Amino acid sequence: MKLFIYHTPELTPEGKVPDCAIAVDVLRATTTIATVLAAGAEAVQVFSDLEQLIQVSEAWSTEKRLRAGERGGAKVVGFDMGNSPLDCTPERVQGRRLFISTTNGTRALQRVQNAAIVTAGAFINRASVVKYVIAQQPETLWIVGSGWEGSFSLEDTACAGAIAHSIWQQTKLSLDELAGNDEVMGAIALYAEWQNNLLELFHHASHGKRLLRLDCHEDLKYCAQMDIVDVLPLQTEPGVLKIV
């Protein structure tokens, strides 16, 4: 297994896809995806374009769909919800499909949607993702951070490091054997430095500060939790993730 970490979708090699890809957007798309599936949603379908989301979701009755839209950290006007995992209660989402478009996370998922295996990772479901990857033993594995509008983000790279660190520890591979690029070493080092204080790291991160200005303190606390949901979102068709 060779593991590659890319800080943003734009940094992935053109014209290539891995055997397995993990999209990461800790604040907050992949955290929300794991949460909504854990709460009993039928599936999550991701879009980069809001108009396309509206058009596709029109085929579903209002009782069977939820539209989630976020731009710049704020809820899109007219949508049922924004991008807060705290809104994903069983009472609200059970049996429904979440149609979601966010500033960054949905772009990461769309970049890797042609890989043989695609999943969504966050701190809250790190253990489930790692367990699946180790069982599958893909020859090439990408962890793709969402970043913020094409730029590096601390929280996504720290989460990539958390996943990589756990794979490294559990497979007994040396770092030289596992790491496909330098970013793997950097991400593991970032995670190792902050693993016991992820919430403080979020407060230093530019997107964390952006969400704090929007009064999303509780979202940050929730997203900073490790291994609290045993959920593996897997892509079953391009852009659609379910618990298989």
pTM above 0.85, yes or no: yes
7-16 residue pLDDT tens? 999 999 999 9
Output DSSP code: residue 94: T
Report the topology of domain 2-243: putative 2-phosphosulfolactate phosphatase (3.90.1560)
109 is written with which tokens? 């998922």
**Is 27 in contact with 144 (CB distance < 8 Å)?**
no
The pair of structure tokens assigned to 150 is 């094409």
Confidence of residue 221 (pLDDT cuts 50, 70, 90): very high
| Phi, psi dihedrals of residue 61, rounded to the nearest 5° | -65, 155
Q: Give the integer Cα–Cα distance in Å for 70 and 220.
A: 16
* pLDDT tens profile 175-189: 999 999 999 999 999
Split at pLDDT 50, 70, 90, the class of 53 is very high
Please return the burial class of 56, using the count of CB atoms within 10 Å of its CB with bins 0-12, 13-18 and 19+. middle
Question: Rounded CA gap, 35 and 84, in Å?
Answer: 10
pLDDT over threshold 90, residue 107: no
**What mean pLDDT value characterizes the chain?**
95
3-state percent helix, strand, coil for the chain, nearest multiple of 5: 45, 20, 35
**Residue-range domain boundaries for the chain:** 2-243
| Six token digits for residue 239 | 């852009």
What is the three-state SS of 90-112? HHHHCCCEEEEECCCHHHHHHHC
Smallest CA-to-CA distance from 120 within 202, 222, 236 is with 236
The residue with greater pLDDT, 104 or 157, is 157
Amino acid at 163: I
**What is the number of other CB atoms lying within 10 angstroms of the CB of residue 147?**
25
